[in-house]
Amino acid sequence: MADLIALEDEVFVEGKPLTIFDPIQTWKRKTLTNFQTRELLIPVFRGGKRVCELPKLKDIQTYARKELDTFWDEVKRLTNPHRYIVDLSTNLFELKQQLLLTIHKDIKASKL
């Protein structure tokens, strides 16, 4: 199991190889070919107007339990849980690096 955060306009084709990497230890890479993608962020409001039907509380609870069951017990335990790694897409990682470099340059310039 792997989770990947990507930019909104990125598209991943299921069945086409996708290389993911740890955003902290970038040399750790894995190429996936058997994967599925899905949107996790579903808009509820746009421009101040509701754009979808709100689920019932019971449905939200059922969904949350189902999603929690997808995590390994080692991640869910309260004592010494395993670190859960979420990978960044290459485009998102590069954007992050550019932003950090820009901020670093701005801070350095303001100290001069």
- CA 74 from chain centre, in angstroms, equals 20
Q: What is the pLDDT of residues 44-98, one digit of tens each?
A: 899 999 999 989 999 999 999 999 999 999 999 999 999 888 888 999 999 999 9
Best CA proximity match to 3, nearest among 100, 23, 15: 23
Q: Which residues face 86 on adjacent strands?
A: 3
More confident residue, 112 or 65: 65
Q: How confident is the model at residue 39 (pLDDT cuts 50, 70, 90)?
A: confident
Question: pTM (2 decimals)?
Answer: 0.73
Question: Is-contact 36 14, C-beta < 8 A?
Answer: yes
Q: How confident is the model at residue 37 (pLDDT cuts 50, 70, 90)?
A: confident
The residues spanned by each domain of the chain are: 3-42+75-110
How many angstroms separate the first and last alpha carbons of the chain?
Answer: 47
Return d(Cα 60, Cα 56) in angstroms, integer. 6
